[in-house]
């Protein structure tokens, strides 16, 4: 089995087998990150392909670990997904929020008692801005400042969207009875 560094070096030399292995390392996490934003399988597949092409184009200057490589591919995919999402939407992406809202003092809500399908259903029922901030924060592990920079909005807006989204998610999840789970 080839090490990541060997795959990377061979990929720089345009070895197709090595490029395919590098692609296989990233494909699932990149697709999943994109799909959670665009909510369309074909769009997520296209974004995954575009992101991987961009990563492969930068192989010559890449210096990092396998984890860094996957993170780079995911970051590119997330940015491309947000761009695609914005192009698709005609209404404003986020609510205008003048007041600075603090991040919730309590830890992130534990929804482990709900079935995965119910969580997805509740998350997808949220307004897009709430859904995206929660997805980027909880699932992709991005910091508020990074989300704000990626989205081109104020960090206070991200924090407000996150707090309001969690509250709406709590309300949505309270509609499920134990029989639903």
pLDDT value at position 75?
92
Query: How do the domains of the chain map onto residue ranges?
Result: 4-88, 92-181
In 3D, which of 140, 131, 120 has the Cα closest to residue 161?
Answer: 131
Was domain 4-88 assigned CATH 3.40.50.720? no
pLDDT greater than 70 at residue 20: yes
Residues 45-61, mean pLDDT to the nearest whole number: 95
Residues 61-78, mean pLDDT to the nearest whole number: 93
pLDDT greater than 60 at residue 28: yes
Residues 38-66, mean pLDDT to the nearest whole number: 93
Query: How far is 65 from 73, CA to CA, in rounded Å?
Result: 12
pLDDT, tens only, 79-138:
999 888 878 764 444 444 443 344 444 445 554 444 667 777 788 888 888 888 998 898
So what CATH class is 92-181?
A: mainly alpha
pLDDT value at position 180?
46
Say if 4-88 and 92-181 have the same CATH topology.
no
The reported pTM is 0.66
Q: What are the tokens at 173?
A: 């999840």
pLDDT, tens only, 146-160:
888 888 889 999 999
Q: What are the tokens at 12?
A: 């720089």
pLDDT value at position 152?
81
Per cent of the chain over pLDDT 90 is 49
Per cent of the chain over pLDDT 70 is 80
Task: Compute CA distances 175 → 21, 101, 114, 178, 181, whole Å.
Answer: 44, 27, 11, 10, 11
Q: What are the tokens at 122?
A: 């509740």
In 3D, which of 107, 155, 118 has the Cα closest to residue 133?
Answer: 155
């Amino acid at each position: 089995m080839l090490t990541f560094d060997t795959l990377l070096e061979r990929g720089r030399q345009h070895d197709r087998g090595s490029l395919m292995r590098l692609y296989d390392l990233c494909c699932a996490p990149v697709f999943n990150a994109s799909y959670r934003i665009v909510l369309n399988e074909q769009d997520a597949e296209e974004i995954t392909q575009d992101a991987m092409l961009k990563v492969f184009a930068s192989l010559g200057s890449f210096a990092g670990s396998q984890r860094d490589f996957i993170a780079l591919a995911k970051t590119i995919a997330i940015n491309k997904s947000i761009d695609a999402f914005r192009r698709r939407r005609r209404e404003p992406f986020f609510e205008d929020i003048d007041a600075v809202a603090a991040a919730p003092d309590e830890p992130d809500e534990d929804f482990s008692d709900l079935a995965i399908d119910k969580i997805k259903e509740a998350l997808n029922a949220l307004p897009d801005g709430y859904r995206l901030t929660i997805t980027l924060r909880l699932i992709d592990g991005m910091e508020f400042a990074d989300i704000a920079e990626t989205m081109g909005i104020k960090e206070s807006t991200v924090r407000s969207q996150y707090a309001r989204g969690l509250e709406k998610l709590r309300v949505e999840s309270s509609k499920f009875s134990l029989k639903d789970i």
